[in-house]
Amino acid sequence: MLEQTPSLVPTYTTESSGTQLRTSLEIVDIVVLVLYFLFVLAVGFWSMCRTKRSTVDGYFLAGKNMVWWPVGASLFASNVGSGHFVGLAGSGAASGIAVTAYEWNGMFIVLLLAWLFLPIYVASGVTTMPEYLQRRFGGSRIQILLAILYLFIYIFTKISVDIYAGAMFIQQALQWDLYLAIVGLLAITAVYTVAGGLAAVIYTDALQTVFMLLGGLILMGFSFAQIGGLDELQEKYHLAIPTVRDVNTSCGLPREDAFHIFRDPVTSDLPWPGVLVGMIIPSIWYWCTDQVIVQRSLAAKNLLHAKGGSLLASYLKVLPFFMMVLPGMISRILFTEEVACAEPDVCKSVCGNELGCSDIAYPMLVMKLLPAGLRGLMMSVMIAALMSSLTSIFNSSATIFTMDIWRFCRPRSSEWELMIVGRVFVLGLVVISVLWIPLVKASQGGQLFIYIQSISSYLQPPVAIVFIAGCFWKRTNERGAFCALVLGLLAGCVRMALDMVYPAPQCHEEDSRPAIVRNVHYLYFSIVVSVFTLVVVLVISLTSEPPSQQQTSRLTWFTRFDKPPQGHVENESVGEDGEADVPGDGKDGETSWSQKLKAAFMWLCGLQRQDGHKAPCPPKPVVNIAVLEEDPLMKHMVNANLLVCMSLAVFLWAYFA
């Protein structure tokens, strides 16, 4: 029965709170946005001039010359996109602080990348993660399967989600059509995607990290000032109940365990065994085997700088709880009727999504709480978050497609051809991502971040298990890895399809889903599919031929210091005749101004003319074992920081559990 129940929370109107509700940006906000874009473009242009973008190594790995602080800032910025601001705040508004477990779990796992996985990747001399598995196991079927899978995961859980979240934020601020906002966002990121290369992406990420931290902390301060502090938040959150709801159901009621990370193992939205165990394997996939993350660490000038970058990223992962989750919960209190709407018709009129409007929690705070000027800053923050994540994903997607798929189909392709293909591929990727957005919008009851994690729990564990086995068990062979990968992914795809066919019921609906969907939480499924994949790897690897020495030397933790065999040529060229003329080199009859115009265009795209007017075939990466050596003093410093960082993470888990 629908009733308008009396609100138990003070109504924050213009008169009671002193906050003028605004629905659009003012002139000063526009000025702040323009200044932000000019600043970012200047940094991007400066970084473009600092690197050689016309080579595979320069474009995809920034010349392997990055120091620790831009690496760490880029790791954080690549991880925390607009989907985090919108999704974490939305999940906080809908169900409380438990979603923070994903952030603080990442504090541990990003350190595993630098201390355990990265030395293996560096010793192997690879550019992409599928390329590592190709060298580790031989053949090409795992490499191609994984490259295609990575691109699909980027579409499902990264690109389309970030585009949707950023577009929804702009829609709230400027009242634009959702898809018009999406087109605008893609136009903004085009210059970095096509021209910048990884160096430009990393340096602009570092700048945008500063914007994100500054804006997020400012909004957090305004939010807590409005609500009255953490004690007031705990009291008022449980009273934030919309007036229009079905009183015979739990619709619109805050969770009783909203301020606990560890929740009931059977009936809760995030059961504690799943948080402690099921969350780890997808997190290892993301932080230790995902191309977007690993590519930044591979760009570091040596292993110590990579470790420093991981430490910085781990420390920064403390902040999303305070900058995003808690403000999202405050937004539910301040704007209960909109953010916590419990009736489909009401939600449809508020945000256009009948399943819920919790994902507008953060945009509502920005547009209705901040004064002029700071709203423009927060718009800059959201666009910075979107641009940093999108450019990172676009660059890494282009790397995988170019180096693993295109190079496999055309092994004699020139370096200039690879540069062109990597840039053009992004356009098709964007189109597919936009077409996927309607499904993102309708998934998981309007909780964007939960949508991301559920998909991750279905597709990522088999890949993570294969990487773990390949890196730390020499006996793992190609047959075992491939069979485990295929069977694990098949199980994950079946579960993902069932979730789409049988979506979770709303609070007023009866749960008629099959038992495998209703009773097995996606975090529990992550545990099941991980164990299943591991068993397949062990059984098939032990019952078939062991890998050759070539497939283990410098490719596992225990063999990372192996020396290349005598007479072995590691940077053998891909082909003997794979040279190609670079267009625009100047032809008979061309005027000097047209030559200059073409030269300027080629420079902007990072396709400068090579010496001798030819673009040679890209060599394979050179293995340099010396980069694994660490200065003893600096090694002790980063190890001491490792202990401090892990202690901080343990304290946070214990305090809020």
> Residue 182 to residues 179, 188, 324: CA-CA distances in angstroms?
5, 10, 23
Q: What is the DSSP letter of 140?
A: S
Q: What is the pLDDT of residue 33?
A: 79
Q: In which element (H, E) is residue 581 found?
A: strand 580-581
Ranges in the chain, pLDDT < 70: 1-25, 44, 47-63, 168, 172-178, 181-182, 184-199, 433, 436-437, 439-452, 564-627
Q: Rounded to whole angstroms, what are the CA distances from 358 to 176, 285, 363?
A: 20, 28, 10
3-state SS record for 595-636: HHHHHHHHHHCCCCCCHHHEECCCECCCCCHHHHCCCHHHHH
Q: How far is CA 470 from CA 316, 461, 528, 649, in A?
A: 30, 14, 20, 28
Residues 6+ apart with CB under 8 A from 147: 128, 130, 400, 401, 404, 405
Q: 3-state class of 266 per DSSP?
A: coil
The per-residue pLDDT for 194 is 60
Whole-number Å distance between alpha carbons of 272 and 146: 31
pLDDT at 11 (0 to 100): 39
State the alpha helices, DSSP H only, in 401-521.
407-409, 415-442, 448-472, 478-501, 515-518
The region that residue 579 occupies, defined by phi over 0 for left and psi between -120 and 50 for alpha, beta otherwise, is: beta
Taking the C-alpha atoms of residue 622 and residue 84, their distance in angstroms, rounded to an integer, is: 37
Phi, psi for residue 27 in degrees, rounded to 5: -60, -45
Q: What is the pLDDT of residue 198?
A: 65
Residue ranges of domains in the chain: 29-442+546-567+620-630, 588-615
Q: What is the pTM of this model?
A: 0.82
pLDDT value, residue 592: 64
What pLDDT was estimated at residue 17?
Answer: 36
Q: What is the pLDDT of residue 61?
A: 57
Residue (of 369, 344, 437) closest to 89 by Cα position = 369
Between CA 132 and CA 140 the distance in angstroms is 11
Decide if 60 contacts 197 (C-beta within 8 A): yes
Those residues whose C-beta lies under 8 Å from the C-beta of residue 482, and which sit 6 or more positions away, are 137, 141, 142, 145
The CATH architecture one would assign to domain 29-442+546-567+620-630 is Up-down Bundle (1.20)
What was the pLDDT predicted at 332?
Answer: 95
